[in-house]
Chains A and B, each alone.
Chain A
Amino acid sequence: MFSLKKCCRITPQLQVVGSRSVHCSYTTRQVCKMTRVRVVDNSEIGKAAMLDGKPPKIIHIYSKIKYGVTGDKVLVTVKGEMKKAIIVGCHQEQKAFIPKFDSNNAVLVDENGSPLGTRILAPIPTFLRKKLKEMSRSKGADYTKLLSIATRYV
């Protein structure tokens, strides 16, 4: 509960409303549908989208839970197209031994799991080595290809 004075500093209109405390829920920073994600590779579409100021938006998470976690595959809209992406870093605190990032990072990927870009400049958690291997299927999608274009591991 914070005082009226504090409210007034933020928005002067609140003074008219009266002394009412505003309650906010704790921010969970989850990656879910409608989340804007930061493209971390050097693909053409990704770069263009980030420059435009319209980063890709998640429209579906390929997971049984409704929020995404480091290493999850995700369906994303970029510049009017639907692309698949893999979350390589979350702002939310993840499980133990997975580093926390200051933004939700993603790498654009095609149907077979091969990345659209040629290099990933941001650091990538080493936890992905295990996770992506589990996700990959022989004679199916191979998601570990993006590890080969990574430059730095965390």
Chain B
Amino acid sequence: MKLQLCSYSGYKIHPGHGSTLVRNDGKTFVFLNSKCRRSHLMKRSPREVTWTVLYRRKHRKGQEEESSKKRTRRHQKFQRAIVGASLTDILAKRNMKPEVRKAQREQAIRALKEKNRAAKAAKKPATTAAPKLEKGKSAMQKVAKPMPKPKMAKTGGHGGRR
């Protein structure tokens, strides 16, 4: 004999106990005892009757142990490629060692200084000044990009001051 659950209270019905009711629409109800059966016939919802399993589930009684174990989902940070730089570029720049970065910076500064001097020298003869300045500026802009922003922004802005 199969151990059934009361369709009203949710308790187990051992063999030899309980009664069954079949409604005209075909729904079957198994009741543990006349208490459950009468409550059902009185149209009392088991969700409002305090001693039933359905009520306890609805009002989450006695389930604190299970809920505390539950963990909240952690959001995963995910590195994405941007339009200007692919994923490999971003990772390369991030993982660059500080010595390498410093060396790059110094190199860039030196290159800029050279170009500024060249630009100044080129200013004296007025005709050759314009194309050279433009060249210098575009080169500076190209070099400025990979550098940490706050430092180079200043120098990039004031091209000829140094």
Whether chain B is bound by chain A comes out as yes
Q: Are A152 and B26 in touch, CB under 8 angstroms?
A: yes
How many interface residues does A have (CB within 8 Å)?
Answer: 12
Q: Are A100 and B21 in touch, CB under 8 angstroms?
A: yes
Q: Are A101 and B22 in touch, CB under 8 angstroms?
A: yes
A154 and B7 alpha carbons, distance in the complex (Å): 14
Q: Are A99 and B21 in touch, CB under 8 angstroms?
A: yes
A97 and B157 alpha carbons, distance in the complex (Å): 95
Q: Are A121 and B24 in touch, CB under 8 angstroms?
A: no
Q: Is A14 an interface residue when CB atoms closer than 8 A count as contact?
A: no
Q: Which of A38, A100, A121, A123 contacts B19 (CB 8 A)?
A: A100
Q: Is A122 an interface residue when CB atoms closer than 8 A count as contact?
A: yes
Q: List the B side residues contacting A152 at CB < 8 Å.
A: 26
Q: Are A123 and B21 in touch, CB under 8 angstroms?
A: no
Q: Are B28 and A123 in touch, CB under 8 angstroms?
A: yes
Q: List the B side residues contacting A102 at CB < 8 Å.
A: 21-24
Q: Are A154 and B24 in touch, CB under 8 angstroms?
A: no
A152 and B22 alpha carbons, distance in the complex (Å): 12
Q: Is B20 an interface residue when CB atoms closer than 8 A count as contact?
A: yes
Q: List the A side residues contacting B26 at CB < 8 Å.
A: 121-123, 152
Q: Is A113 an interface residue when CB atoms closer than 8 A count as contact?
A: no
- The 0/1 profile, CB within 8 Å of B marked 1, for residues 88-112 of chain A is 0100000000011111000000000
Chain B interface (Cβ within 8 Å of chain A)? 19-24, 26, 28
Q: Which 6 A-B pairs have the closest CB atoms?
A: A99-B20, A101-B22, A102-B24, A102-B23, A100-B21, A99-B22
